[in-house]
Amino acid sequence: MSSPSGWEGILDEGEVIRWQGRPDGAVVWKVSNVGTLLFGAMFSGFALFWMILAAQAGGGFWMFGLIHFFVGIGIAVGPVFWNTLRRRRSWYTLTNKRAIVATDMPTKGRVLRSYPITKDTVLGVNTDEPASITFASEQRRRKGGNYKVKIGFERIEDAKQVFALLREIQKEGA
């Protein structure tokens, strides 16, 4: 059995695509974004205040505040719009053996990540509309230590159907 067009060299022998989809690309504001929004707004507000005072003194010194102003704006709204951009540039595939998440981001290029689905895979689903399904997690590093990131199919319309397929794949692999 041959792989579908474009999947040559990606799918294993006997691997069959069961579902493909894309996440909802809507801008989503969450309660968890409030802290960064407020901090970024204060950062930008102070920079704006400083630029106004510096401009009153004359000359072009006020322009040095522009970088701080835009950094504050980036802190305030960056996470919301970055997540939206990431979802808009993501594609999901579920086979009879694994879940595949493909992204094409301007900063990283094309990335294809695959996560095996076994009987031991811990599945999760949320109640948001559209719902998200998690099937993996990974540790990421930052300055203050490590943190865990859940991985899955985010904000998909047919989450119930996909969750049922995942459970079916788990049972087949048992």
Average pLDDT, the chain: 90
Within a domain: 97? yes
Residues 34 and 19: their CA atoms lie apart, in Å, by 35
- What integer pLDDT is reported at residue 3 of this predicted model? 63
Residue 20 confidence (pLDDT) = 94
Domain residue limits at 35: 31-83
Amino acid at 73: I
Residue 106 belongs to some domain of the structure:
yes
- CB contact at 8 A, 166 and 172: no
Q: Answer yes or no: do 166 and 96 share one domain.
A: yes
Q: What is the pLDDT of residues 85-101, one digit of tens each?
A: 999 999 999 999 999 99
- Closest CA relative to residue 150, chosen from 160, 140, 163: 140
pLDDT in tens, 144-153: 889 899 999 9
On whether residue 113 sits in a domain, the answer given is yes
Q: How far is CA 108 from the centre of its chain?
A: 13
pLDDT at 51 over 90: yes
Whether residues 96 and 54 fall in one domain: no
Same domain flag for 140 and 167: yes
Asked, for residue 10, whether it belongs to a domain, the answer is: no
Strand ranges in 47-144 using DSSP code E only, listed in sequence order = 90-95, 98-105, 109-116, 124-125, 131-142
Same domain, yes or no: 75 and 110: no
* pLDDT confidence band for 2 (50 / 70 / 90): low
For the entire predicted model, the pTM comes to 0.79
12 within some domain: no
